[in-house]
Amino acid sequence: MRITLRLILALVLAAAAVVFISTGFQARQEQVRLEEELERRASVLAESLQESAEPLVASENLEGLRRLVQRFGDRERLAGIVVYASDGQPLAITASLPARFQELPEIAREAVQTDQGRDAFLVVGQQRWHLEVLPLHRAGQVGGALLLVHDASYIDVQRNGLWRQNFVRLLFHVLLISLITLLIVQWNLLRPLSKTIEWIRRLRTGELSEHESLPKGELFGPLAREVTHMAKSLTVARAAAEEEAKLRHAGESHWTAERLKEHVRSVLQGRALVVVANREPYVHIREGRQIRWVMPASGLVTAVEPILRACGGTWIAHGSGDADRETADAHGKLKVPPETPSYTLKRVWLTKEEEDGYYYCFANEGLWPLCHIAHTRPIFKADAWAEYQRVNAKFAAAVLEELEGTEHPCVLIQDYHFALLPRLIKARRPDAMVALFWHIPWPNPEAFAICPWARDLLDGMLGADLLGFHIQFHCNNFLDTVDRLVESRIDWERFAVNRHEQTTLVKPFPISIAAEEMNEPYTGGARPATSTIRENLLKGLGVTASYLGVGVDRIDYTKGIGERFRAIERFLEQHKEFQGQFTFVELGAPSRTLIKRYHDLGAELDAEADRINRRFQTRTWKPIIFLKKHHSHAEIAPFYQAANLCLVTSLHDGMNLVAKEFIAARTDGQGVLILSGLTGASRELHDALIVNPYDIDQTADAIHVALTMGEAEQRARMERMRQTIHERNIYRWAADLVSELARLRPAREPKVSPAAPQAV
């Protein structure tokens, strides 16, 4: 209240000062205008009378002068006229003039002496006059003077009247504007500020519930974002501390971002941490004249990005956004995340030919179908292999540049795009600790041997000190492949390979997510009931239904989306009571559309969804809604939170983090996960309904079981799975990987392999 009163007083005083100065200036301008106008009229009239008076003075016609003075002496604001002789005596004078004009004024004397006209304003008591004097000539000599006297008091009257009028009018306007401004400030500044202060106070004292968000507004937008980030950090830190205290009391431990940070700092002891991946965690794109950043839909980004948020370091990736160069420095670097920078992103620039050959052709038309048993024939081309080698060498150069000046750095290489990179790095930096994590399955030896350059790929991978897969089965397949295809010694007890006097440990590291971050406060405040979220989602999609299913995938032939659609069709055939009641929403992110198989797949899935919808849909309902676009985490979260079931029916998958994201989002303990047994996630999430995605009837039966399962059983299953992903989260995955790598750091530098791939 005191702030408001001070603000009102300051506004009133400031307004009064501005109005006073402004109206004074206007009054002064009006006075100058009136004076100039009076001087102009007086000059014109004096010159006119001079022509009439000079012949009368020359002929000493006093009567004529008196008539002249009498005729002009009663004009508006002309107080009178005086004609003086050369000695200063008045020859003719208007009777109404004051007696002081009986004598020659000083201004008239100057006019006679200099033979030049004069004018001036004269103040006598409370009266203000304007005097205009012209010399009168007789026989070429000055024979007298003509004086015009105007009453100038009206100028002061008009000036003062204008000042008062404008002052009152402007003061009213300014006060009105000040009042409106005060109301706007009160509504948009003081009121939100008061709420923000109260929100921060409650946050500080721990009184804030997890669903209460910071009051937002246009003015407080930047502050809201920054304080929200701070609040989330404090909330997460407080929750982690509480959880750590509980677990410590119980003799257990829970991995958090803070614990990972301390653990990595202890293990690495100041050594540099570098992550290499094809995909960057933040892409900058141009929209009109604006540049905005997006986080790509990627399981790898979802899993790995929280590690660098917690520990810092450098992420080296292909710069793929059309505005990436504009947002990076001359070395391709920038600090990320944009809202709270905590690590460095270094972008590597690839030509279109390099990207086509390395990424689209060799990696995704060759290695991807080779490693996924999804019955799509891999394609291998020599020129694509050459580009794959060239790009691996380019990334090796970027990594080595980043490692300059460091000792025993730690390099975490991600996925099948960089099979050659470990050997290239170790050849130049044998002191580096190099790990390669293979995010996709590893096939049996017979399948992998299809690749013409299988031995080169294996040799590149065996340059790593540590090689990680999601599950033990993939480790077994890899060791069988190495045993079959390259010369090496395999230690089956330790699951290690010795080649070129270097040992590579092969171990499973089931990747996960930062489960706690999936439970961020609902953006609208307190989270509505699950049924309300479901109703709003379905209403927004233009359908009416009682049950909701969800699938979240890249549009890829390994994800089993077509089989999923056909299982829904079979379910509706067998259980007609769910027709008009169950809607399945597939959130599909377009992927690799430049590859023909992926381009064709999108059209096939559209056709399949349309066929099934035409068969069952009504005016207000349809069974399948296929939304093809890149969805943000914020857009996906409500579907996770509202769905009665989530279908993850990959035909072959290394892990599949969608299953874990769905579980992490279900704080209500409801919902059922239907999970393909051909995913790595099925080895951990035993309480999901495990299905063979190729068995359409089995998947249809699982849908029915999920929709008819009691709440108590749903909650029991969900709680056990939630416990699993909270215990085995991404921070534990990273800690295990880095710990194992640091433990294996060689005591001496290994010899450089003569077979190390060279830059093409």
Among the ranges given (1-15, 277-291, 571-585, 612-626), the one the predictor scored with the smallest mean pLDDT: 1-15
pLDDT band at 214 (very low <50, low <70, confident <90, very high): low
Q: Is the pLDDT of residue 731 over 50?
A: yes
Non-local CB neighbours of 188 within 8 Å, separated by 6+ positions: 217, 218, 219
pLDDT band at 309 (very low <50, low <70, confident <90, very high): confident
**Does a structural domain hold residue 260?**
no
**SS3 for 729?**
coil
Higher pLDDT, 271 or 238: 271
CB atoms within 10 A of CB 508: 17
**Does a structural domain hold residue 503?**
yes
pLDDT at 212: 58
Verify that 687 and 717 share a domain, yes or no. yes
**Does a structural domain hold residue 689?**
yes
699-730 pLDDT tens trace: 999 999 999 999 999 999 999 999 999 999 99
Mean of the pLDDT values across residues 392-416? 95
pLDDT band at 582 (very low <50, low <70, confident <90, very high): very high
Verify that 361 and 451 share a domain, yes or no. yes
**Does a structural domain hold residue 654?**
yes
Backbone angles phi, psi at 38, to 5 degrees: -65, -45
CB-side exposure of 298: number of CA atoms within 13 Å?
Answer: 20
And the tokens for 605?
């899935």
Domain count, the chain: 3
Q: Is the pLDDT of residue 427 over 70?
A: yes
Q: Is the pLDDT of residue 167 over 90?
A: no
CB-side exposure of 538: number of CA atoms within 13 Å?
Answer: 27
Angle subtended at Cα 296 by Cα 295 and Cα 300, rounded to the nearest 5 degrees: 105
Give the span between the Cα atoms of 566 and 155, in whole angstroms: 96
Length of the chain: 760
Give the span between the Cα atoms of 118 and 536, in whole angstroms: 89
Mean of the pLDDT values across residues 618-623? 96
Verify that 533 and 643 share a domain, yes or no. yes
Mean of the pLDDT values across residues 450-461? 97
The torsion region of residue 103 among left (phi > 0), alpha (psi -120 to 50) and beta comes to beta
pLDDT at 64: 87
Higher pLDDT, 380 or 152: 380
Calculate the alpha carbon distances from 515 to 130, 297, 634, 721 in Å: 92, 17, 15, 11
Give the span between the Cα atoms of 539 and 638, in whole angstroms: 13
Residue % of the chain over a pLDDT of 90: 53
**Does a structural domain hold residue 52?**
yes
pLDDT at 9: 77
And the tokens for 208?
């804030």
Calculate the alpha carbon distances from 380 to 164, 453, 597 in Å: 92, 9, 15
Please state, rounded to an integer, the average pLDDT across all residues of the chain: 87
Residue % of the chain over a pLDDT of 70: 87
DSSP assignments along 352-387, one per residue: HHHIIIIIIIIIIIIIHHHHS-SS------HHHHHH
> Edge-to-edge strands of the sheet including 127-138?
90-93, 78-85, 141-151, 127-138, 118-124
- CATH number of the domain residue 581 falls in: 3.40.50.2000
Mean of the pLDDT values across residues 220-244? 60
647-676 pLDDT tens trace: 999 999 999 999 999 999 999 999 999 999
Verify that 395 and 538 share a domain, yes or no. no
Return the HEC string of 584-628.
EEEEEECCCCCCHHHHHHHHHHHHHHHHHHHHHCCCCCCCEEEEE
pLDDT band at 22 (very low <50, low <70, confident <90, very high): confident
Mean of the pLDDT values across residues 179-205? 72
**Does a structural domain hold residue 491?**
yes
pLDDT at 297: 64
Paired residues of 661 in beta bridges: none
Verify that 588 and 680 share a domain, yes or no. yes
Cβ proximity of 637 and 665 under 8 Å: yes
- Distance in Å from the first CA to the final CA of the chain: 74
Verify that 500 and 537 share a domain, yes or no. no
Q: Is the pLDDT of residue 231 over 70?
A: no
pLDDT at 326: 93
**Does a structural domain hold residue 745?**
no
**SS3 for 698?**
helix
Verify that 360 and 493 share a domain, yes or no. yes
Q: Is the pLDDT of residue 234 over 70?
A: no
pLDDT band at 400 (very low <50, low <70, confident <90, very high): very high
Higher pLDDT, 433 or 74: 433
pLDDT at 12: 75
Q: Is the pLDDT of residue 752 over 50?
A: no
Cβ proximity of 460 and 413 under 8 Å: no
pTM higher than 0.85, yes or no? Answer: no
Mean of the pLDDT values across residues 289-307? 81
Verify that 436 and 546 share a domain, yes or no. no
Higher pLDDT, 746 or 167: 167
Range of the domain at 452: 274-508
Verify that 579 and 628 share a domain, yes or no. yes
Higher pLDDT, 610 or 226: 610
Verify that 539 and 675 share a domain, yes or no. yes
* 709 secondary structure, DSSP code: -
CB atoms within 10 A of CB 161: 12
Q: Is the pLDDT of residue 590 over 80?
A: yes
Identity of the residue numbered 382: A
**Does a structural domain hold residue 28?**
yes
CB-side exposure of 108: number of CA atoms within 13 Å?
Answer: 26
Verify that 358 and 423 share a domain, yes or no. yes
Verify that 334 and 468 share a domain, yes or no. yes
Q: Is the pLDDT of residue 353 over 70?
A: yes
Mean of the pLDDT values across residues 160-175? 82
- CATH number of the domain residue 56 falls in: 3.30.450.20
